[in-house]
Amino acid sequence: MAQVTIYINSNLEERIKAVAGSLDISLSKLISRMLEEKFSNEWHPSVKQLVGSWKNFPSLDEIRETTGEDVEREAF
């Protein structure tokens, strides 16, 4: 596993230490998880669970019914 040295201000360090302590994990593991989440190309499972959860969400046609008509564009 690679090692990386980063420089952060003491204020940020204290906040990161507090979060790691509350989760009972090491600083290294917390930072690694945060980077994995930041650079992940997938939706979080909690977001995926929302699919289909809005039963009464209007269709595109229903949404477009209330938008009015477009104005004709000016010629160049």
The tokens describing 47, both together, are 């977001």
Which one has a higher pLDDT value, 18 or 58?
18
Question: What pLDDT score was predicted for residue 5?
Answer: 94
| Tens digits of residue pLDDT in 14-56 | 999 999 999 999 999 999 999 998 898 888 889 888 888 888 8
Q: Which residues lie below 8 Å from residue 27, measured CB to CB, with a gap of 6+? A: 16, 17, 20
* Residue whose C-alpha is closest to residue 16's, from 40, 32, 39, 36: 32
pTM greater than the 0.85 cutoff = no
